[in-house]
Structure 1
Amino acid sequence: MKEMKIFIFLLPLVAGSHAAGQDLSGRLISIPANDGKPFVQLTPAMESPISAMTMCMRFFSVLTRAQTLFSLATPSQDNDLLLFKPSAKVYRLHVRGGALDITEFSDNVGGWNSVCWTWDSGSGLTVLWVNGKRSSRKLLQPGALITGTPSIILGQEQDTYGGGFDRQQSFEGDITDVHFWNEVISPCEINFYTEGTSFVHGNILNWKDLQYTTTGKVFVEKSDFDRTTCF
């Protein structure tokens, strides 16, 4: 009986990881293989409605099949904000269930890609930036409002709130420098982010103060994007 009590006490310690905010500067999150189970759950710094946003991230992958880069769901909508790649050279943007494809970029397959996505509810204008180049402005869900407690996941696409994963849409590779703002940041700030220089960090998700948990075979490693980590 005493041994059983000790086991029950230790189990929560090994099951959960990194519940407090962590500074991941110069680090990356690696999902080297994905059978539909590994993912990273991010905890945002707010729960109020989102009427405008910018999301930036860097990813490294050799996959050319469909994969999910960023998934934000709420109890009322599983595709509230979704950045999805149905195939190479195609990015699909989802807002409140509406979607459009961006086909204006060539992927850096087997290398780092820096991606920023902006959307404003008032106008419905949305823009995707990939490796310093921007798409043409598109219209997506003008007047929409994202409400409810968000579930934000890296590595999987949510078909239900916090779950409903499909192995054929899972991400394999490395992710770093994830930031999220509840506003459309300026093109200059996006350029600063892309170049890896000083920029204003996200106020909703901040890679330097990130609260997250991991499930499955997910690893935190030194980043090879940030060249300063070599010195």
Structure 2
Amino acid sequence: MACKSLIFSKNYTFPAELTYERRGGHLSKFTVCLRSCTNMTESIMFSMLSELRYDYFFIILGGGSDANTGLIWVEGRRVDVSFPTDDTRPRRSICLSWDSPNAEMVLWVNGKITEKKEFEKVGRTYIDPRIFIGPGQIFLGGKPKLDVGELTDVHVWDRVLNPQEVKGYFHQEEGHIGNIINWRALEYDGVDGDFIVGPFQCKRRLSV
């Protein structure tokens, strides 16, 4: 999967499940990093589900007319976030960490902290979470209208990365490889729908 991306398009109805070796794992902390297009036409979501519940944790990345806004749901609680409006680079690097014992969420965009929030401590553990990626509109009760967008370089760790590690990922330094999901060795399952794997190229915005 190196140098490639998942490209989701208008007919896709379900997200793809990113698979990894099951180790009977119990996660209480994790960090996810990925790169996306800044001109996505619609929302892209990354979600982690545990015990068949959807409200544990997921992020929806904004797109279209709301390209600089996004939603993060943490334990069923909504956090509205904003992405930098002065960033003209076609690729956006996003890292999001969740520390359940300390109930702390941190969002990094292009190597810098843009949101840090503390919640009431619940100390929840995620048991062998299922990890999905795909159109965010599915979870908002809608259907994609246009090409949805592209995501690449998705990594997941079972710990909270420190600032130096997040910046290393942003600058694409060697050695920043997720120990739960590693994009270079990624395996995934897809159901009936429409997505392809191809070179990451960040398509231009399509007209409505």
TM-score w.r.t. the length of structure 1 is 0.73
Within 2, Cα distance between the matches of 1:211 and 1:166? Answer: 27
CA deviations over 1:10-30 (Å, ceiling 9, x no partner): xxxxxxxxxxxxxx1111111
Residues 143 and 98 from structure 1, CA distance in 2 versus in 1: closer, same or farther, beyond 3 angstroms?
Answer: same
Secondary structure in structure 1 of the residue aligned to 2:126: coil
Secondary structure in structure 2 of the residue aligned to 1:105: coil
Shift of 1:165: 6.4
Contact map agreement 2:156 2:179 (CA 8 A) in 1: yes
CA deviations over 1:46-89 (Å, ceiling 9, x no partner): 45222111000001153465x13301222342032211135332
Unaligned runs of 5+ in 1: 1-23, 226-231
Contact map agreement 2:41 2:149 (CA 8 A) in 1: no
Shift of 1:168: 5.2
Contact map agreement 1:78 1:158 (CA 8 A) in 2: no
The equivalent position to 1:113 in structure 2, one of 92, 105, 110, is: 92
Q: How does 1:1-231 map to 2 (within 5 A)?
A: 24-31=1-8, 33-37=9-13, 39-46=15-22, 47-60=24-37, 62-63=39-40, 67-85=43-61, 87-103=66-82, 105-106=84-85, 111-140=90-119, 142-157=121-136, 166-167=142-143, 172-215=148-191, 216-224=193-201
Secondary structure in structure 2 of the residue aligned to 1:192: helix
CA deviations over 1:76-104 (Å, ceiling 9, x no partner): 42032211135332222222212212236
Q: Give the greater-gyration-radius structure (CA).
A: 1
Q: Greater share of strand residues, 1 or 2? A: 2
Amino acid at match of 2:100: S
Shift of 1:142: 2.7
Shift of 1:158: 9.3
Shift of 1:44: 3.1
Unaligned runs of 5+ in 2: 203-208
TM-score w.r.t. the length of structure 2 is 0.80
Amino acid at match of 2:158: N
In the TM superposition, structure 1's runs of 4+ consecutive aligned residues that sit over 6 Å from their partners are: none
Residues 171 and 70 from structure 1, CA distance in 2 versus in 1: closer, same or farther, beyond 3 angstroms?
Answer: farther
CA RMSD of aligned residues (A): 3.0
Within 1, Cα distance between the matches of 2:12 and 2:119? Answer: 29
Within 2, Cα distance between the matches of 1:85 and 1:109? Answer: 17
